[in-house]
Amino acid sequence: MEDVRHYYCPNEQCADHGIRGKGNLNVGFIYGKNNRRMLYCCTCKSRFSETKCTPFFQTKYGPETIVAILRCTSEGTGVRATARILGLSKDAVNHVILKAGEYCAKVMEKLLVDLQLTEAQMDELWSFVEKKVVKPAKEAKSGYGPPLTQKPDC
């Protein structure tokens, strides 16, 4: 069984929040068909799933299935094709992708803070600027186009 030293208490009011390997976590019990562990914090007396704060939290799929979904879609396979390949519903695939994206956004928000950059390299930044031919504006006739500023000679 995997050691709990790399987990931390996700309770923000806990004195040991975010501190790994302090020895304040114990395995309370195992639950679910994927045999997930319920962890217990001795400091704040709260309990939480070992998948809390991960993209695997509150999903009925195991890590192998989630990794397979993310591998397929990251290689450019569509959602429906991924669902057919793995024998899942397209809604399940969409849910996993959305959850993983939200998790990645949170991780990047924590990691990319206060960067002191002096230069940036824009490799492989491709853009396309459409070349438009500007046609001269047609003269406005009464009833068509923008209103005339002068009265027409009738």
The amino acid at residue 39 is: L
Q: Is residue 134 part of a domain?
A: no
Which two three-digit tokens encode residue 3? 């050691």
Look at residues 34, 46, 36 and name the one whose alpha carbon lies nearest to residue 8: 46
Would you say the pTM of this structure is higher than 0.95? no
For 113, phi then psi, to 5°, come to -125, 135
Please tell me the distance from the alpha carbon of residue 154 to that of residue 124, in angstroms, as a whole number. Answer: 61
pLDDT of 77 strictly over 70: yes
User: What pLDDT score was predicted for residue 144?
Assistant: 56
Element (H or E) spanning 100, and its range? helix 90-111
Torsion of CA 63, 64, 68, 69, to 10 degrees: -40
Q: Does 135 map to a domain? A: no
Q: Domain count of the chain?
A: 2
Phi, psi of 27 (to 5 degrees): -85, 120
Rounded Cα–Cα distance for residues 107 and 101 (Å): 10
Pair 58, 106 in one domain? yes
Which range marks the domain in which residue 64 is found? 54-110
Average confidence (pLDDT) over 39-54 = 83
Whether residue 136 is contained in a domain is answered as: no
**Which of the listed ranges 30-39, 78-87, 124-133 does the model predict with the highest average pLDDT?**
78-87
85 shares a domain with 41:
no
At residue 142 the predicted structure's pLDDT band, cuts being 50, 70 and 90, is low
Q: Do 43 and 70 share a domain, yes or no?
A: no
Q: Quick one: 59 and 21 in the same domain?
A: no
